[in-house]
Structure 1
Amino acid sequence: MSLILDCFSVKRSTFYRWKAEGQKPKKRDAIEDKIEQLCMENQFIYGYRTITRLLKKIYGLIVNSKKVYRIMKEKGWLCRTRPKKMPSLGKPYYVTENRLNRDFQAENPMEKLVTDITYLYFGNCKLYLSSIMDLYNREIVAYTISDCQDTDFVLDTLHQLKLSQGVLLHSDQGSVYTSKGL
């Protein structure tokens, strides 16, 4: 034994201290017991912040939330979150280059038109306004209001106009403007 300790340049007292630390059973913290109990009672739906508040409310324990987080993470008691579902809008069917190129001046009426959709909030209700503006005199030449934002909504606005050949219609190329139906 002393030969091995000499080879690694370790003192005998250090070796026996390491050996004694490895054999000590870790005492379980009383806070861990209370955290486990709260987690099990609530089917692991609460996060560490709520568990910290419950420790204070129920048991009168003031514990740092970072300690509660560390304990819950080590034991695998963190709440199980569901991933947020995001709508998949798909890929644009057709995207064109920017022909307007920030030239917002028009020489003739109905030469350059711009369009966009605006959200209108009325209490709990949300409406959509699709409008087309003529850049010659900044006049709104067509508009539609609807409660759903889809391709038919934009097409209703476009069908209000008789567009001649060579008219430039500029949009922000959002999902309704780049869909196959348009």
Structure 2
Amino acid sequence: MTKARTTYSVAFKHDAANLVLDKGYSIQEACDAVGVGYTAMRRWVAQLKQEHGGITPTAKAMTPDQIRIQELEAKIKQIEWEKDILKKGFRSFNAGQHQTIDLIAALSRDNHSIKKLCVLFEIPRSSFHYRLKYRGVTKPERAVLRQKVIAIHSRSRGSAGARTISGQLNQAGESVGRYKAARLMEEVGIVSKQPNKHKYKISEDVSKIAPNRLNRQFDVETVNQVWCGDETYVWAGNKWMYLAVVMDLFARKIVGWACSDSPNTDLTCAALRMAYESRGRPKNVMFHSDQGCHYTSLQFRQALWKYQITQSMSRRGNCWDNAPMERFFRSFKTEWMPKECYNTFAEAERDTLKYILQHYNTKRGHSYNNYLSPVIMEAAA
């Protein structure tokens, strides 16, 4: 059976240690007198000596002065904790510096000290007074930037975020980082619309037609080294419009496309033919796609053989093996295509080509190109 640990009151420890310090007892004699161990008595004597010397102990104090000091320190610690909780609670509402300064200004009207409020909320007084002085005043240069931000966001149909806007402003000669672009977006009340993340089932089945030669090596050194292709569909009034696209991985430029109301191999061959002829009939190109029947068909493989293009195919069901093409279609459908889809086939085809030719290739900044458009990236190469 474990012996219970003996505890002693502060007053008992004080009286026991006084036997040594005030009454002339040795530590051993004091131990025998009060019935405690030598180690405990020595520790009490040392602590009482420190307290008489004005040192606050880490253990419970024995002298009235040090007891009062420990009580005050505990109260200060509690007050600091409560203040920290209140500040964190305020910041949990995503309050930035401007909102905090507005709060300080409101509290100061109730005869609270501005100096103390600034210290409490960790806001420099210079920032507080600067904000009040220029609140509601917009510099002409910033007003121009706001209009440019609105124009870029509008051209992208609401999809452009801070990085894209920053990249396009820099292309236009403005020195604007992503955080400044984010502040400008907040000032004019616009946000980027982006879809939620989607989980995909991963498969490892390799095609029997062609191996995965690309193997996710999407960073290529020159134009016409690797092309990627894929096909998607869009609702166009009373039927589907099918879109086949070919992308040059060097600058992520769309170099071939075709639209049809039938998802057959003629569609993918037409997109490949446009890419081959518009790029000057290049040699030693690799064409990568998924394992869709439009790309495994004999007709399409014969077209690749005719153009002397090497075929590469993703593993079955593994969309990440053709990620650049999947990302292009996601951008088109979430950034550009109207949520209610199109009313007619002609409208869908016209708007799709507008996205490719007048927006994606020429104006939309791509993160892979350091937010240059594909056309500008290729021209700079």
TM-score band, normalised by shorter chain:
0.3 to 0.5
Q: Say which structure, 1 or 2, has more relative contact order (CA 8 Å, 6+ apart).
A: 1
TM-score normalised by structure 1 residue count:
0.47
Which structure would you say has the larger Rg? 2
Q: Counting helix residues as a fraction of each chain, which structure ranks higher? A: 2
